[in-house]
Structure 1
């Protein structure tokens, strides 16, 4: 097959994208690992201020590690479909954990509205722990099951052609290998039984949770902001300090949503375009989007450690406190919420 006549990405383009993804994944690994180290080192991982970002950082670390391992295998011209499946599952976990974070923020804000003291906020709500369990278990279980049912045999590669090797297929953007977010109609899927159906299932497994979180998080933070404002009005607190708190809540919510959308919009757009266009999808046309995706998607873990962790006063205060109990004064409540 001639690369000049192929609508898929060339081997050089794939190598460029892979190297970029390794660099950005390493940054996310360093950032997320710093959250885990400080939280565990100071025995603060279970505090309300720390626990959500600790969970999110754990998923970011695993996703980044498997992304890097997959990149090394890809650059060595080896198939890595199992690694790809695990990478995808842990990135889906990060999606769901960001939504869990937003749900917790809304629950705590409603608690603030209905109770007179921030000390009595809910800590053991079953819904919260159910969401954490689902965020971790659902992506891994479903992805592994899908991988098991759609496992390609070594003989499938032999049906492609006598002069075509596995390395040739990988060079032409095999979807079973790195990069994990590439959506294309390629030989790896066309030369297996019900390959296109399985490929669409992989796409939807990634795109549906991503779209769900993109939409639901916007709704959750809108309700959180409205609930906070309602709590101020109900207490007659509309002074300068309260308006600053209101502005802080709004800006934090906008920042969380903006970072998530910026990081994952290229992947979402590529997935939707390839799903709609099917076999007429030309990867070469959207090479610039693949570059954007390689820069932004794996970098989400690094952004998470900044906006949910090191930039948030409540998180830094919780790590610096000598007591193993979370600060329960009214001033710290804002940081617990957002």
Structure 2
């Protein structure tokens, strides 16, 4: 069996035809590196500000803030991985093993962020509970365990010998080797990872959309419960509709380019190395690493509790509560949680 060093030497000598298009992306990769680093730093600042604010105000034990705290922690860890990946971008091939495992950890974290986003919305509509939070963090680890184990056994890290492999998600076509079994295993693992990403993305997007629709219906019911729907009430409903639409749109904005790129690589790997692939790749560099920053604005600092520094209980009205209005100061709507 050939050693990893010999395999990497064979890759560089015998797979020029398969990597010529990728090597023409040198300037694009350099731009992606700095874009990824900048957006990831913004995400660290955004998600970190939520965590620091919650901790300083001693609000971490409040059940209504725990989903937000978990989401911010996953966004922070993911942003740190983006920063490490951008820092490892270099012309030497010494970090290929680290890049492979870094991408695996990244997939665990962004799947966890998907599930914690869904957990956040579930908590707004009903009592999600601690079990849901635990499963949101444990499921990605269990799903990615085969990648950790089989990837190491099959020496799939040799496919990460090019410097651009440390950037963003798993990019580029698999290299050819003289060992058919490892390449087959690595190809299956790559398909498995891509499928997991697409399924988790679609599950989260559809679930968020369904919960947003349910929340809007409940809000309409609350507003019209008095039997009167005037201009002010209609304005409140329209305002809430526009704000609620931001949640699936921001999620789609963050991961839409990555989804398109993964689908393109699965359907036509050659097309993904052309101009379309470059555009999607650069778009992904702007969108995916910025998730923590956008989430901190959308989910965190729109919360009046964080803005006012913990001086009063959460005010759940149209001006402060974005996911779902379950109660107002003057009237009690406890039945909303049961619907």
Q: What's the secondary structure of 1:282's corresponding residue?
A: helix
In structure 2, what is the equivalent of residue 64 of structure 1?
A: 79
| 1:252-267 pair list within 5 angstroms | 252-267=243-258
Pick one of 242, 252, 261 that aligns with 1:270: 261
Aligned 8 A contact 1:45 1:54 in 2 = yes
In structure 1, what is the equivalent of residue 272 of structure 2?
A: 282
Given the two structures, how large is their TM-score scaled by the length of structure 2? 0.78
Q: Structure 1: which 5+ residue stretches go unaligned?
A: 108-124, 161-165
CA separation of 1:73 and 1:5: change in aligned 2, threshold 3 A:
closer
Q: What's the secondary structure of 2:216's corresponding residue?
A: helix
| 1:1-338 pair list within 5 angstroms | 2=16, 6-9=20-23, 10-75=25-90, 77=93, 78-79=95-96, 80-107=99-126, 125=127, 127-151=128-152, 157=158, 169-171=161-163, 173=164, 177-187=165-175, 192-277=183-268, 279-285=269-275, 286-317=277-308, 319-321=309-311, 326-327=313-314, 334-335=321-322, 337=324
Equivalent-residue separation in structure 2 for 1:17 and 1:184 (angstroms): 15
Equivalent-residue separation in structure 1 for 2:195 and 2:212 (angstroms): 25
Deviation per residue, 1:242-274 (Å, 9 max, x gap): 334323321221111211111111001111111
Deviation per residue, 1:65-89 (Å, 9 max, x gap): 1221222233364122111111111
Aligned 8 A contact 2:168 2:285 in 1 = no
Equivalent-residue separation in structure 2 for 1:145 and 1:5 (angstroms): 28
Deviation per residue, 1:184-208 (Å, 9 max, x gap): 3221898634221111001112111
Equivalent-residue separation in structure 2 for 1:269 and 1:245 (angstroms): 36
Aligned 8 A contact 1:28 1:298 in 2 = yes
Equivalent-residue separation in structure 2 for 1:154 and 1:4 (angstroms): 20
Equivalent-residue separation in structure 1 for 2:79 and 2:258 (angstroms): 16
Equivalent-residue separation in structure 2 for 1:72 and 1:315 (angstroms): 33
CA separation of 1:281 and 1:193: change in aligned 2, threshold 3 A:
same
Deviation per residue, 1:289-317 (Å, 9 max, x gap): 10000011110110010111123334424
1:48 CA displacement:
4.6
1:235 CA displacement:
3.4
Q: What's the secondary structure of 1:96's corresponding residue?
A: helix
Deviation per residue, 1:138-179 (Å, 9 max, x gap): 11232233221222556984xx9xxxxx7xx314x4xxx422
Aligned 8 A contact 2:305 2:315 in 1 = no
Q: What's the secondary structure of 2:227's corresponding residue?
A: coil
The higher-RCO structure (CA 8 Å, 6+ apart) is 1
CA separation of 1:196 and 1:330: change in aligned 2, threshold 3 A:
closer
